[in-house]
Copies of this chain bind each other. A is one copy, B any other.
């Protein structure tokens, strides 16, 4: 897809796990022109760039930030460095894309949002899943009323994961589920309370297994199970409604989304004196798996980043979306410290 404007000059900071994916997608995108790959390890940066490329590798962030051809910077470094690096880039006048989570604390995230607004820069959070055809479909089904009233959102995200020293499994994996929840729920109604239960059976020093329970408006509930210690990989989200229920199984490429026209029907609050059969009935209808395009979500991320810059507007997953996710994460951390008690999610003052 060709655009009317010049490609956006970009640099990628961080050549570890996620950076190479950003590099590949910036190179493949017509709307962006990649100039630099920067990493604390020059060798790592070089390896990502490769022998046959005119992209420059460096271990000097200054060189990148001083380059006027670089209009935008994508940051894919450890979470603890997001705040400082993103702030430096914004203050150098760059638009910024930050890998999730936006920062290591709500406070650090708020500094980024405020500074980007003050300087008129785009601040985007790489909530990659929001750019998949599957999540777009989930959102449409919720927003168009196809599911009826929302009953529950249940996410499971398991893997033999990257046990980390500077972050627990909640901060590592739950941002995916929380950003999806933020994206698909009506009016961005993120949960206003959360209870977290975790376990560190290996003695790593922080939770490797985690469960989040989040009451939602109208008696509904959201729940997320994240786990670094599972030998099997599972990525499913079920969104249950009064009319239909959607199952998203991201690892089932031929049928990622299944819409079940099934449910329980009630005549009202059950009366224990009456026969159940007269009060409860079941609807067992068809399953429909809608055709979805196969495209890489990250290509959507880099294009939205470029477009929001050229159109001087907020991106779909902007700094505020990143902040909303951070607020739930901080509340989860408090709940964990309080034995799993339900903690309120602070709204921004």
Q: How far is the CB of A318 from chain B (nearest CB, A)?
A: 28
Q: Are B231 and A160 in contact (CB under 8 A)?
A: no
Residues of B within 8 A of A254 (CB): 232-233
Select the stretch in A109-117, A118-126, A173-181, A205-213 that faces chain B: A205-213
Interface residue? A300 (CB, 8 A): no
Q: Flag whether A3 is at the interface (Cβ < 8 A).
A: no
Question: Which of A66-74, A83-91, A182-190, A256-264 forms part of the interface with chain B?
Answer: A256-264
The answer, yes or no, to whether A107 is at the interface (CB within 8 Å) is no
CB atoms of B209 and A152 under 8 A apart: yes
| A108 at the B interface (CB under 8 A) | no
Residue A228 lies at the interface, judged by CB distance under 8 Å to chain B: yes
- How many copies of this chain are found per oligomer? 4
A225 within 8 Å of B (CB atoms): yes
A284 interface residue per 8 A CB criterion: yes
A140 and B88 CA atoms in complex are apart in Å by: 55
A152, B199: Cβ atoms closer than 8 Å: yes
Q: Could you tell me if B221 and A247 are in contact, using CB atoms closer than 8 angstroms?
A: no
Question: In the bound complex, do residue B54 and residue A52 qualify as a contact, i.e. CB atoms below 8 Å apart?
Answer: yes
A165 touches which of B149, B162, B263, B270 (Cβ 8 Å): B270
B269–A203 touching, CB < 8 Å: yes
Chain B residue numbers with a CB within 8 Å of A195 are 195, 197, 340
Q: Indicate whether A229 sits within 8 Å of B151 (C-beta atoms), given known contacts A219-B201, A269-B204.
A: yes
Q: A166-B272, A199-B215, A231-B262 are in contact. Are A160 and B50 (CB under 8 A)?
A: no
> Which 3 A-B residue pairs are closest in the complex by CB-CB distance?
A231-B260, A165-B270, A199-B221
Q: Which residue of B lies closest to A242 (CB)?
A: B202
- Supply 9 further A-B pairs (C-beta < 8 A) apart from A52-B54, A225-B225, A339-B342: A165-B274, A199-B221, A201-B219, A204-B269, A204-B270, A229-B264, A232-B254, A287-B291, A341-B341
Task: Tell me the count of chain A residues lying within 8 A, CB to CB, of chain B.
Answer: 84
A145 touches B (CB below 8 Å): no
Checking B151, B233, B238, B255 against A202 with a beta-carbon cut-off of 8 angstroms, the contacting residue is: B151
**A240 touches B (CB below 8 Å):** yes
With beta carbons under 8 angstroms apart, the residue of B203, B220, B225, B229 that contacts A201 is: B220
Contact of A223 among B225, B261, B274 (CB under 8 A): B225
Q: Mark A315-329, 1 if CB is under 8 A from B, else 0.
A: 000000000000000
Contact of A340 among B28, B279, B342 (CB under 8 A): B342
Nearest CB in chain B to that of A156: its residue: B156
Query: Measured between alpha carbons, how far is A91 from B208 in the docked complex, in Å?
Result: 51
The reply to whether A290 and B286 contact each other, CB–CB distance below 8 Å, is yes
Smallest beta-carbon distance A142→chain B, Å: 14
- Which residues on the B side are within 8 Å of A285 (C-beta)? 291
Beta-carbon nearest neighbor of A246 in chain B: B231
> Can you spell out 6 A-B residue pairs with CB atoms less than 8 angstroms apart?
A151-B209, A160-B262, A160-B263, A199-B219, A231-B263, A287-B291
